Structure 1
Amino acid sequence: MSDVSVYQSRPPSLWTLYGKAILPKGQKASGDLEIPGLRSSLVGVSTANDNLKRYQKVCGFATQTHAPITWPHILAFPLHLKLLTEKAFPLPLLGLVHLRNTITQHRPIRIGETLDIDVRLDGQNQGAKGLEFDLVTEVSSAGKLVWEEVSTNLFRQPQQGEKTNPGKPPELQRYPNTLNINAPESIGRQYAKVSGDRNPIHLHALTARAFGFPRAIAHGMWSKAQVLALLEQQAGWKHEAVSVACQFKKPLFLPGTAQLNWQTGDSNWDYQLLNAKGDAPHLTGNITWG
């Protein structure tokens, strides 16, 4: 992988980057695809900007002295978009699938704290459904790593040979605690305003249909943030070093309702966001302290 690094003091313009996102990519044959080692950094980013209160409201986070655990993802998003729209990046941005996301917070980040953010492409792997790669984000304060994230994305590719039978999915385990979540039709547009993620599959039924979806679908990172906002309010939650992993499963169509289902433990919790019937997951994951 070739390494290209860009350092800057201001986030790139999202509208300019979205203009680049619609340009066609000259894709190579599937076996020749290589994800370049692109890297970009942003220095001196304040955790307290104009969007923070709106983000807390859209995702359901209570107002506190520290930033929501998912907030650095929003601060880093312009860098994510920059790397994925670089000329050297061989894949089209629209159509990439977010498979997994793991956030590790080494300590709570204070609101108003100044951060340095570094993002890189890494972890290329040929999976069962196509090419997988990671967006790795590292956030530092005063030179010390305080937060990191690995987002695994998929570029679907036609598979060679006979189709394999995936078999019966494992039986869904139900946990003892459940809360209902309401996702209004407008939540995709609300989240897009505070996150900058204006992928058309999330904005409106008309734009989602152009990509094969019958209705708009909720952002995966909104779903994860909504889950964490609710779990933070439960007895036993600890505001300290924590890692939150999740796997994105079935889309949550808008408008829609879902069930947050979870179980607690001394050092880890398991959670899942289920459909309205409670028989299929939108996302599953676990939380680990220490």
Structure 2
Amino acid sequence: MNQTAHYRFSGPALLPMYGKALLASSKGGRHAAADMPELSADIEGVRTDTAELRRYREVCGFMTSSLCPVTWPHILAFPLHIRLMTDAAFPLPLMGLVHIGNRIEQQRAIRQGEILELRARIANAMDTERGLAFDILTEASSSGHVIWKEYSTLLYRQPTESSGKDGKKQPPEAPQMLSGQATVQAPGNIGYRYGRVSGDMNPIHLHALSAKAFGFPRNIAHGMWSKAHCLALMEKAEGPLEAVTVDTQFKKPFFIPGTGILTWERNSTETPFRLLNKDASAPHLEGSLSRD
């Protein structure tokens, strides 16, 4: 079932697409990487200085600047992502997907007010022991040149027969603290505030009751809010992020309201960073930032 489809996207009509996702109860079952269709979507003439940019800076903690936050194109492209994952040919339920990683490669800083062309497609589907993983590969172009690229990795859980048969696993060692440190406060309404500005209104982020309906004890922070807020804190300490690569793996859920500890290696061109829980015993996310 390797179908190919391409869409010229005209606007962020997210609520109808979320309605489709909630009603797509027939999707699911077991799937393999070979089942993933070749879907893509694009949109031209995207302004980077939308009315939401100021609110996005406030919600994520970015400083006012003539340069866009390195994570901002993810927000601009999010309607394309939802369009792909609510397509009739897409075999997986949107609400059953887990965001496990995000890699951004920015060739140069994007100026506020710059006009972009955005293209997103399903890529790199892979069968793993945890389930079916795939990327949404997004490219932002200016004047015909790709200046920003993102790999958002999602997982559809479906363990294989060999999963969990390797004996007892050793408990992971407590993560080490690095030279830079900052406290991360995630207020109880951050899921709703980030959802409003990003368009990601997944119920697991919005309220404790809606999160419980999906198996969580209470609502959790968006992974991309956690990543953006960590980058905002590091940017304040280390200077602007212009030509950079930021690779992040999302680990344990960050329940809200909650407190975390960001730790990173200061004054380094290759900067590891971690967002840890409040007693620094386990990571919510781990990543690396390299200045190109």
TM-score by length of 2: 0.95
Q: 1:48 to 1:280 in 2, by over 3 A?
A: same
- The equivalent of 1:181 in structure 2 is 184
- The equivalent of 1:110 in structure 2 is 111
Could you tell me which amino acid in structure 2 is paired with residue 64 of structure 1?
S
Distance (whole Å) between structure 2 residues aligned to residue 223 and residue 239 of structure 1: 17
Q: How does 1:88-107 map to 2 (within 5 A)?
A: 88-107=89-108
Q: How does 1:274-285 map to 2 (within 5 A)?
A: 274-285=276-287
- The equivalent of 2:237 in structure 1 is 234
- The equivalent of 2:258 in structure 1 is 256
Could you tell me which amino acid in structure 2 is paired with residue 240 of structure 1?
E
SS of aligned partner of 1:232:
helix
Could you tell me which amino acid in structure 2 is paired with residue 207 of structure 1?
S
- The equivalent of 1:194 in structure 2 is 197
Q: What does the per-residue CA deviation read over 1:114-168, in whole Å, with 9 as the maximum and x for residues that have no partner?
A: 0000000010111121000010000000101110100110000033146333333
Contact 1:44/1:115 (<8 A) preserved = yes
- The equivalent of 2:41 in structure 1 is 40
Q: How does 1:93-242 map to 2 (within 5 A)?
A: 93-161=94-162, 163-164=165-166, 165-235=168-238, 237-242=239-244
How far is 1:286 from its partner? 0.4
After TM superposition, the structure 1 stretch with the greater mean CA deviation from structure 2, 153-162 or 181-190, is 153-162
How far is 1:180 from its partner? 0.5
Q: 1:219 to 1:32 in 2, by over 3 A?
A: closer
How far is 1:238 from its partner? 4.7
Distance (whole Å) between structure 1 residues aligned to residue 194 and residue 240 of structure 2: 26
Distance (whole Å) between structure 1 residues aligned to residue 290 and residue 33 of structure 2: 38
The answer for unaligned runs of 5 or more in structure 2 is: none
Distance (whole Å) between structure 2 residues aligned to residue 30 and residue 50 of structure 1: 40
Distance (whole Å) between structure 2 residues aligned to residue 63 and residue 141 of structure 1: 22
Q: 1:288 to 1:31 in 2, by over 3 A?
A: closer
Q: 1:60 to 1:198 in 2, by over 3 A?
A: same
Distance (whole Å) between structure 1 residues aligned to residue 263 and residue 160 of structure 2: 35
- The equivalent of 1:11 in structure 2 is 11
- The equivalent of 1:82 in structure 2 is 83
Could you tell me which amino acid in structure 1 is paired with residue 212 of structure 2?
R
How far is 1:31 from its partner? 4.6
Q: 1:31 to 1:52 in 2, by over 3 A?
A: closer
Q: 1:144 to 1:32 in 2, by over 3 A?
A: closer
How far is 1:26 from its partner? 3.8
SS of aligned partner of 2:246:
strand
- The equivalent of 2:273 in structure 1 is 271
How far is 1:173 from its partner? 2.1
Q: 1:26 to 1:277 in 2, by over 3 A?
A: closer
SS of aligned partner of 1:193:
helix
Could you tell me which amino acid in structure 2 is paired with residue 286 of structure 1?
S
- Correspondent of 1:244 among 239, 243, 246: 246
Q: What does the per-residue CA deviation read over 1:52-90, in whole Å, with 9 as the maximum and x for residues that have no partner?
A: 100000000000001110000000000000000100000
Distance (whole Å) between structure 1 residues aligned to residue 3 and residue 64 of structure 2: 43
Q: What does the per-residue CA deviation read over 1:253-274, in whole Å, with 9 as the maximum and x for residues that have no partner?
A: 0100000011035421110000
Contact 1:25/1:90 (<8 A) preserved = no
Could you tell me which amino acid in structure 2 is paired with residue 15 of structure 1?
L
- The equivalent of 1:20 in structure 2 is 20
Contact 1:12/1:82 (<8 A) preserved = no
Contact 1:264/1:270 (<8 A) preserved = no
Contact 2:137/2:150 (<8 A) preserved = yes
Identity %: 46
CA RMSD of aligned residues (A): 1.5
- The equivalent of 1:60 in structure 2 is 61
Distance (whole Å) between structure 1 residues aligned to residue 225 and residue 271 of structure 2: 20
Could you tell me which amino acid in structure 2 is paired with residue 88 of structure 1?
A
